[in-house]
Amino acid sequence: MARILAGIASRTPIPADQRFAESLPLFLLKVFELFNFSFSVYQVVGKKLDDAQNEIAEVSVHGNFDYLLLLEDDHWGHKPEMLDALVKADVDVCSILQYSRWYPYFRACMLRDGNFKDGRPKFREALYTEGVHPCDLIPFGMCLIRTSVFERIPKPWFRMNQKKGYTDQAFCSSLMEAGIQPMACFDFTLPHRDITAENVLEKRRQNLYPFQQSRYREKISKKLGELKGVRV
């Protein structure tokens, strides 16, 4: 019988999305009803994301759990079928597909696509429509990790990315360096705030013009800044 710890890192006692608070009890109830898992929940509130995730990982390791299931409270609609798919994938690390909540709402399961000029890695969307596939970057909205992974990668296991307040890219880099392939399940899509599989294309359409306008304003502001002090 698999022993699974569900870990939730929350910035405040109030979930980032109320729909998470509403759907989580239903998810847990169904898991207890349907599966022969030993299932526990551990939540850390009010800490930096990387510190909270490292604490959760420590609990999973020292509690002799087989898996750590990371859940994020700005997602909702976690389903037992998703957990079942992650377990059945039988891999070291596997995540459910989700979209970014920022325009242009890219899929957060991505493949490496070269580097930027400053050396930072570039990624492109993994466009699989079903099944479990290798990816170079996966999200943590719903991600199942074998606890044995934490014996194979260096501490701190979770670190903040250089330019963004996330830990997924640094974690996936550690996995790849240790010869562990991140995987993603494309049979389901986990809603991320207001971005779902059903509305993502319409959201892109609605936000294309505002995004173009904001980029135009940025270019004009930059040009005016370059011209400051120049006498004509």
Residue 148 and residue 81 share a domain: yes
Residues 20 and 72 grouped into a single domain: yes
Q: What is the pLDDT of residue 230?
A: 42
Residues 217 and 138 reside in one and the same domain = no
Q: Are residues 204 and 168 in the same domain?
A: no
- What are the distances in angstroms from CA 41 to CA 4, 44, 88, 193? 9, 10, 21, 22
Residues 102 and 210 in one domain: no
Region of 11 on the Ramachandran plot (φ > 0 left; ψ -120 to 50 alpha; else beta): alpha
Sequential DSSP letters for 150-167: GGTSPSSS----SSSS-S
CB of 6 closer than 8 Å to CB of 57: no
> Looking at the structure, do residues 35 and 99 belong to the same domain, yes or no?
yes
pLDDT tens-place values along the chain, 232 residues long: 799 999 999 988 888 999 999 999 999 999 999 998 899 999 999 999 999 999 999 999 999 999 999 999 999 999 999 999 999 999 999 999 999 999 999 999 999 998 888 878 899 999 999 999 999 999 999 999 999 999 999 999 999 986 667 999 999 999 999 999 999 999 999 999 999 999 999 999 998 766 666 765 666 566 545 544 443 3
Are 191 and 138 within one domain? yes
- Looking at the fold, whether 132 and 180 belong to one and the same domain comes out as yes
Q: Assess whether 37 and 138 both reside in one domain.
A: yes
Structural domain containing residue 7: 3-195
Count of domains for the chain: 2
Shared-domain flag, residues 168 and 219: no
CATH number for the domain harbouring residue 109? 3.90.550.40
pTM: 0.89
Indicate whether 156 and 47 sit together in one domain: yes
pLDDT score recorded for residue 9: 96
Q: Are residues 110 and 224 in the same domain?
A: no
